Structure 1
Amino acid sequence: MFAGLAYAGGGNRCYWQGGFYETVAPQIGLKPRRVVGASAGAGAMLYNALGVGPTVREMLREACTGRTSEVDWAAFRRGGRLFPIAEMYRGMLASLFTPERLATLKGQADFLIAISRPPRFWPLPVITTIGIGAYQLEKRLRRPVHPTVGRKLGFRPDLVRIADCANPEALVDALMASAAVPPFMPAGNIGARAALDGGLVDSAPAWALAEMEAAGEQTLVLLTRPFAEVPQVENRTYVRPSQVIPVSQFTIRNWEGIRFAYELGVRDGEDFLRGMERRLAG
C-alpha cells in the first residue's frame, strides 16, 4: 500500500512511532521499499523493522529505573560527558545491531539515515549553536511540519544508505550522527566530514521519498507532534499523535512518559485502522 515510509525525529516522542507501527504494519501488510528516518526516528525505523521494539522498551525501562538526574557530575569532573544520554544511546544501538541484524536490514528495504551537513565557512561549534537555536526558535514561532531555517543558514541534507554500512559500527556511527545535538549528543563525523542531527534540515525527511511520490507511489510519514495542519502533498499521507506527548526529548529517567508515548501510538494506530475501514466501506 505504501511504497515509502518516513520517520520524523523527536527524541523520546519517537516511541509513539513504535506503538503506531506495531499496530498498523501487520494489519495492512506494510512492507515499504524505501524507508528514511531522521534523528531518533532513524533508530526507530530500524528497530521497528526488525521487530525488536519490545526489547528496546525493556532496555529503556531498566535504564530509567532508579535514575534521579539527567546529568552525571561525577563523570564530568573525571573528564567525561555531563549528559550520559549519548553513551546510553550508543550502547543500546551497539547491542541491538549485530552483524546478523545488519544483514537482515540490508535485505529488507532501502533504509536511509538523514543527516545534516553544516556549512564549511563557519567553525563547527559556532554554526552548531546558531543552527540549533534557530531551529528551536522556528519550531516555537511557526510550528512547521517541515522546517526551513536550517537550509537558509547553509545546512545541507545528506543520506547514509544502510546498504553502504560495512559493519554495525558504521551503522551506529551514522545513527549517532543523525541524532547529534550538542551538548546532549556529540557531533558526528561521516565520510570525513562533520554531520549533525538530520532534523536541522528537515525533522520529517519526506524529501527523500519525493521521486517515489512523483512516480505515483504512495508514501507514509510518521510525525511525532500533534500538528494542527499538515501539508497537502500528492501521494503522501501524514499521521501524527492525537495529543501532545508529555515527555522530554532527552530524558533518561521518565519511563512513564516513554510508555505513554508508545501506548498513545497504539491507540492512534487503532484509530487509523478504523478510519481505513470506514473509507473502504464507503
Structure 2
Amino acid sequence: MTGSDASPSFRLAYVPGVTPSKWVRIWHERLPDVPLSLVPASPDEIYGLLRGGDADAGFVRLPVDADDLSAIPLYTETTVVVVPKDHIVAAVEQISPGDLDDDIVLHPLDDPLDWEKLPGRPALERPATTADAVELVAAGIGVLLVPQSLARLHHRKDLTYRTVTDTPESRVALAWPEDRTTDLVEDFIGIVRGRTVNSTRGRAQTPAADGQKSKGANASAPGKQNAGGGARRKPAPGKAGGKATGSKATGKSPRGGGAKGGPKGGAKRGKPRRG
C-alpha cells in the first residue's frame, strides 16, 4: 500500500447499470473531508480511465481484461429478457432459453454476457450498444437478453422483462490498478466489503482508540477480581477459617479431620488396632 500517493479526493468510475449510491453514502459518512466524484463510463472506456489515472477505482463487469488490475467480485446479476408488453413471454414470471427459439434475439456489441451459443434466431446485424438494441425491441424487431440492472436502466413504458434461467450471468466487481492501491482505495475496499468503521483491517482505528480500549480492559480487570475474589480470600490463621470448614458450618467433619478433629473423630474414622 502506498499511502503517500493518496490524492485529496477519490474518483470512482462505474459502468452502466451499476448503482454505487449506497457505497457513496457510507463514504461521505466516514470520510466527510474527502470529496468523492462519480465518473460514468462505458465498459470499454472504464479500463482506460483506471490505467490513465483518471479514476482511482471503478465498478466493472467480470472478467477484467488484464493482469495489471486487481478486482474484488461483489455480486451476481440475474439475466432477463426484454420484450414488448404484449409478447407471450410477459404472461409468465420466468422462462428458459428454449422458449425463445422462435424469436430474433438481438446481440449488441457491448453485450456483457459471455455466450457460448445465443438462444433464438440471430439478427442480420448486431446493434452497436444495448441502448440501440432496446430501441429495436420497442420497434418489434426482436428481443434482448441483458443483466437485470440494464433492463431497469433502459426501462420503457411499452417494454417489460422476465427472468431467464440457465443463462450466463453478469458479475460486478470493484477494480483498481494494482500498483496504485492507495489508502483511499483501501478505505473504499473496506466499505464495499462491509467492514465497520472500527474494523482492525481499516484505517479508521487510530492508536489513541487502541489505547483507550486497552485502558478500559485493564480498568475492568480489578472489578472482576474484587467481585469474585472477596468470597475466595483466605482468612487469617486462627480466625473464622476454622468455623467455615468445621462441623458446625457443614454438619460434617472436615476431610482429613481425623488428624485434627480430636481422638473421638479419629476413633470413628480409623481402623481398630490388633492386640
Q: TM-score range by the shorter chain?
A: under 0.3
Q: Name the structure, 1 or 2, with higher relative contact order (CA <8 Å, separation 6+).
A: 1
Q: TM-score, normalised by structure 1?
A: 0.25
Higher helix share: 1
Q: TM-score, normalised by structure 2?
A: 0.26
The structure with the largest alpha-carbon Rg is 2
